[in-house]
Structure formats: C-alpha cells, structure tokens
Chain A
C-alpha cells in the first residue's frame, strides 16, 4: 500500500462509547496530523506529531486523545463524545514539521457520527 490509510471509513457511536480511529502512512514521513472537517466549517487542525512526539494541540477537548506509537501510525482515541463532534476526521502526513514547501498528504478520512 502507498499513501495515507485511515480506518474505519465510517463509524457510528453513542456518546458513552469508547472507540479509536487509526491512521497509517507508507510515505516515510516524520510528521503526522489530525484534522476535523465539520459541515459548513473550514478544516481545523487538531494535533501535530513529529517523530512520535506531540508538538501541537489546538485547544482540543480532552475527550479526544491522540497517540503516536511510531512515525508510521497515528491513533485518535475517542470517549464520551458529543453530537457536535460528528464530522469527517482526516489524517495527514508530511516529511517534517515547520516551514516547508513539501505538501501534506491526506487520507480519505473517517466519517464519525455520534448518536
């Protein structure tokens, strides 16, 4: 496989459930990102990881918990979510963090629906 792969593609969960989103990149990149895309709102950066270390958290509620066990894998653990958390969650990777003219590569996202 090549590129950035996200699983599952679709997820429906209740507010009291705990689930995890998975992202895997096969590009040899050192930086990985989680974005949230809600209806009628621009794409928002949630977290940035560089070499498995979290370098940025954009005021994301603690009910979202990221994990980066190695430079190829990124998880987003979810618990006690709210209906407004329903969105498309996109993972991206890039060669490195910081100012760069290398583009970010995106996965196809996980469509999350909270009942």
Chain B
C-alpha cells in the first residue's frame, strides 16, 4: 500500500527566504507525482506534475525534483513572498488505476 509523507507539517519563514518542501513515498512504482497548493477554504490548484521518467520540472519560482528510486520529491520555492502562504500537497499516481495518493501537506507561512 502506497504511503506518502510530507515533512515538516508546518513551516514559517521570513519573506525572501527560499522554501524547501519534502515529500516521500513508499512504493517507487509511480506513474507521476504532482504538487498542489491549497489556500484556506479552497480547493487544490495544480502547480507542477513530474512524470516518472523526469528528474525535475520548473515553473517560474517553483522547481520540483523527483528521485523515484529513493521515493522522494522536493519542491523548491525561490525568494518566498507572503502570497506563497498556503498548504502544499504532494500526490503520487500509481502506474495502473485511477488513484492519487496524497500526503498530509505542509502548511507554509511567509512572514512579511
């Protein structure tokens, strides 16, 4: 059974500092991995999707890496801003079926 863990559960940084969010998964037979952002009381917004054959994906200040063999992904957010405050979730999709397995999320606060 796939398990996804995100550490830390919460993170507080001053504005301008780089953010490093970690995601680990127990079964390396994944199809892809997605990072989402969730604002309070809102749904999920997809940030980056990394295919199992890729090592990283970049979008603006966001960079996500994937090491499938060790079961890890890291989301880097450069030069954090107060608007980056949100909960960040990672989810892995297995090679067969429809299921996304989510981690518990990391709640980020960027202080001005």
A interface, CB within 8 angstroms of B? 4, 6, 31, 33, 40-45, 48, 55-56, 58, 90, 92, 97-99, 101, 103-109, 111
Contact = CB atoms under 8 A, between A and B. Distances in A.
B1 interface: no
B110 to A, nearest CB: 22
18 contacts: A6-B43, A33-B98, A40-B104, A41-B104, A45-B98, A45-B100, A48-B98, A56-B99, A58-B99, A98-B98, A99-B95, A101-B51, A104-B46, A106-B43, A106-B44, A107-B43, A108-B42, A108-B43
Nearest to A49: B98
Chain B contact surface mostly? strand
Contact of A109 (B42, B96, B97): B42
B89 interface: yes
Given A56-B99, A104-B46, A106-B45, A99 B104 contact: no
Contacts, number: 61
A33 B89 CA distance: 18
A103 B46 contact: yes
Interface residues of B, number: 27
A99 B44 contact: no
A104 B44 CA distance: 9
